[in-house]
Amino acid sequence: MSSQLEYAYRFIKQGILDGTYKPSQKLVETQLSDLIGVSRNTVKTALLKLEQENLVKIESNKGATIKSFSLEEVENYLEIREVLEGLIIRSAAPNFTEEDLQNMEQIMLQMGNYLHENKYDDYSKKNNEFHNMIYKLAKNSQAVKMVNVIKTQLIRYHFRTILIPGRSEKSLQEHQAIYHALKTRDISSAEEKMKRHVANVRNTIKENFQLLL
């Protein structure tokens, strides 16, 4: 991928993920070309790549629009993620060293501090670090790739769930439970706690879907 194409791709993708571009919003190639400072063909190719990631929908004679998911689609994706996350942590748990567990504990403590300070962006970053530790130690790399695709598609919903009253505290408690299961080397409990965490995310989105759009 050329440097200009890579830049255009990442520019548009970031705009989708951070909410600059909203679901069902039309993306005009000429406007993006002027804004990003690349050719229209470069923008077109970047949009095709984003379509492959299911972030953009391209229709003949209509151009590109931001992919919009129905509640049923979001629930289906999270049901799939729940199963995959269980497989991932089961394959990762035996590989955790004492140093890994100490690093995870530090991440979790920082998550608590950021939550107390209402620094939700920082909390989300540490949340990702927490999960990425598990992904890196998992033997089932195929499941990790599939989960990352799902998380990318649904990131706009995941970030906003933390703003739902009471959800942030529950999220932290769920991560603490996952950590405790890993620390005590209880693989079955770690899998159960992880699956419950994803199920709770799904239930929160289901109950507050209109607020998260």
Among 41, 17, 56, 21, residue whose Cα is nearest residue 160: 17
- Tokens read off for 169: 């505290």
Amino acid found at 86:
G
Architecture of the 71-212 domain: Up-down Bundle (1.20)
**What is the pLDDT, as a whole number, of residue 213?**
65
pLDDT along the chain (213 residues), means of 10: 89 87 90 94 94 90 89 95 98 98 97 93 93 97 95 82 87 97 98 97 90 70
At 1 the pLDDT is: 65
**Domain assignments of the chain as residue spans, ordered by start:** 3-66, 71-212
Are both 3-66 and 71-212 of the same fold? no
Half-sphere exposure of 117 (CA within 13 A, CB side): 10
User: Which H/E stretch holds residue 142?
Assistant: helix 141-161
What six digits make up the tokens of 57?
């929908």
In angstroms, rounded to a whole number, what is the distance separating the alpha carbons of residues 146 and 16?
19
Q: Radius of gyration over alpha carbons of the chain, in Å? A: 19
CATH fold, domain 3-66, is: Arc Repressor Mutant, subunit A (1.10.10)
Global pTM reads 0.84
Segment holding 197, helix H or strand E: helix 187-207
H or E segment to which residue 187 belongs: helix 187-207
